[in-house]
Amino acid sequence: MSVTTVPIQPIQKGLLAKIWIGVLLIAGAALLLAYTGTRSVVSDGASNEQFLAANADEDGVVTTESGLQYKVIKPGEGPSPTATDTALVKYEGRLRDDTIFDANEQAPMPVGGVVPGFSEALQLMQRGGEYRIWIPSDLAYGEASPGDQIPPNSLLIFDVTLLDYISAAQMEELRQQMQAQGGMPGGPPPQGMGQ
Read off the CATH number of the domain in which 136 is found. 3.10.50.40
pTM: 0.69
In-domain check, residue 150: yes
What residue type is 32 in one-letter code?
Answer: L
Residue at 66 is within a domain: yes
Per the CB < 8 A criterion, the answer to whether 139 and 68 are in contact is yes
96 within domain boundaries = yes
Per-residue pLDDT of the chain (195 residues; tens, 9 = 90+): 566 666 666 666 677 677 778 888 888 887 777 766 544 444 457 899 999 999 999 999 999 999 999 999 999 999 999 999 999 999 999 999 999 999 999 999 999 999 999 999 999 999 999 999 999 999 999 998 888 899 999 999 999 999 999 998 888 888 888 888 875 555 554 444 444
The answer to whether position 188 is within a domain reads: no
In a domain, 128, yes or no: yes
- Total domains, the chain: 1
Domain of 146 in residue numbering reads as 61-173
Tell me if 19 is assigned to some domain.
no
122 dihedral zone (left: phi>0; alpha: psi -120 to 50; beta): alpha
